[in-house]
């Protein structure tokens, strides 16, 4: 079932109906699974994906598709938890992934509504203003220009703004399900949807599904809501809900220029406009009517809603590493799940081939054993 009711994917991949063999079987057809399969195929591996629903369903389809650096926390917070060098590594790896997504989109004319857009992290009180100033200074020191702007400049983007100040950066946005689907098509990846993994024989290994079995040399578990091997005790489930208005004839009295604004709470709000519609993303539908009145006062918001559940580790990092001789996990965690899922995909061949990689060291499931 498609998650995004405005931009669904016309997914046409078949069910698995006969036993097959592959070098690598990937379980999960979201951004992490398809990115893994894409980069592994570039290295010459025969790869098969099985997805229990459709490509474009689940958390990937429900995402707002904002491509921002890091894994969801601010740099100052990441540096406190990971150390400055590791935080800088994470920022650089995420930016490399964002650049690679743009390169793939432009070189192959991938239909995913790719756009460059201004990002504003917005403060509502003096404490948040001070926090943004520290974050901007920390980013400047590692080469990211986060400019602090005042309320009048915010209103040059969002006329309805009641924020005190904001940190201005550039980011990109895509429709993730369409990007993932077209990436699979571009690489001619063998994908089987509506094909759920029922059992995994660890000795062979063999992936047993609702339709048939896949014998392979390696298995990559790239699911979001059903991680295995006890890793689920290291994360929790969160939800996202996106409200979209009906199309509005003129945006100029609301959004004067395109931008994405997010607030600074742990469970932050995201507001933006796209293709003539107003958007609000929240962690829960509770209180959504009040939020709509707050951000879009005086507007009759006949909303369409969609969303999904997703997983997040306590340290906001993805999980990428081996959990058995021939079994690996590649799970996109953190609020920047699209960027992190793609980054895991970029690194997966190094994981399979046993090559050293600093990003994989930080994302390894073994990190939980060290705490």
Yes or no: say if 71 and 94 are a contact pair by the CB < 8 Å rule. Answer: yes
Domains of the chain, first to last: 20-63+176-234+314-370 (3.50.50.60), 117-170+246-302 (3.30.9.10)
Number of residues that make up the chain: 371
Residue 240 burial (C-beta neighbours within 10 Å; 0-12, 13-18, 19+): buried
Whole-number pLDDT of residue 1: 64
pTM of the model: 0.94
The token pair at 272 is: 């933006």
Please compute the mean of the pLDDT values over residues 123-129 and round it to a whole number.
Answer: 96
pLDDT tens readout for residues 101-110: 999 999 999 9
Summarize pLDDT for 213-227 with one digit per residue, the tens.
999 999 999 987 665
Q: Tell which residue, 239, 176, 228, 236, has the closest CA to residue 197.
A: 228
- Reply yes or no on whether the pLDDT at 122 is more than 90: yes
Which among 265, 261, 270 is positioned nearest to 291, based on CA atoms?
270
pLDDT given at position 350: 97
> How does residue 134 score in pLDDT terms, banded at 50, 70 and 90?
very high
pLDDT tens-place string over residues 294-338: 999 888 787 788 888 778 888 888 999 999 999 999 988 767 889
């Amino acid at each position: 079932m498609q998650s995004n009711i405005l931009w669904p994917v016309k997914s046409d991949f078949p069910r698995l109906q006969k036993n097959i063999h592959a070098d690598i079987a990937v379980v999960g057809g979201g951004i992490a699974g398809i990115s893994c399969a894409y980069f592994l195929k570039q290295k010459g591996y025969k790869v098969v994906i099985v997805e229990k629903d459709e490509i474009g369903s689940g958390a990937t389809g429900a995402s707002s598709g904002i491509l921002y650096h890091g894994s969801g926390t601010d740099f100052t917070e990441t540096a406190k938890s990971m150390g400055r060098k590791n935080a800088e590594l994470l920022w650089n790896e995420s930016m490399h992934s964002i650049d690679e997504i743009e390169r793939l989109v432009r070189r192959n004319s991938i239909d995913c509504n790719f756009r460059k857009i201004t990002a504003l992290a917005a403060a509502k009180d003096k404490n948040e203003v001070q926090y943004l100033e520290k974050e901007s200074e920390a980013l400047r020191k590692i080469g990211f220009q986060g400019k602090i702007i005042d309320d009048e400049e915010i209103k040059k983007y969002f006329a309805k703004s009641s924020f005190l100040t904001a940190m201005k950066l550039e980011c990109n946005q895509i429709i993730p399900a369409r990007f993932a689907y077209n990436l699979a098509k571009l690489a001619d990846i063998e994908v089987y949807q509506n094909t759920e993994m029922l059992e995994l024989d660890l000795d062979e290994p063999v992936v047993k599904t609702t339709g048939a079995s896949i014998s392979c040399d390696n298995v990559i578990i790239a699911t979001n809501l059903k991680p295995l091997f006890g890793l689920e005790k290291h994360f929790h489930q969160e939800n996202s809900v996106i409200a979209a208005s009906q199309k509005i004839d003129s945006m100029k009295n609301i959004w004067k220029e395109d931008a994405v604004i997010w607030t600074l709470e742990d469970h932050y709000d995201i507001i933006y406009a796209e293709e003539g519609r107003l958007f609000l993303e929240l962690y829960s539908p509770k209180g959504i009517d009040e939020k709509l009145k707050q951000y879009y006062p005086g507007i009759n918001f006949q909303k369409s809603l969609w969303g999904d559940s997703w997983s997040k580790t306590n340290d906001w990092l993805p999980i990428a590493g081996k959990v058995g001789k021939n079994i690996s996990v590649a799970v996109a965690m953190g609020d920047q799940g699209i960027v992190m899922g793609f980054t895991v995909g970029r690194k997966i061949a190094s994981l399979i081939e046993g090559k050293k990689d600093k990003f994989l060291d930080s994302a390894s499931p073994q990190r939980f054993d060290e705490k």
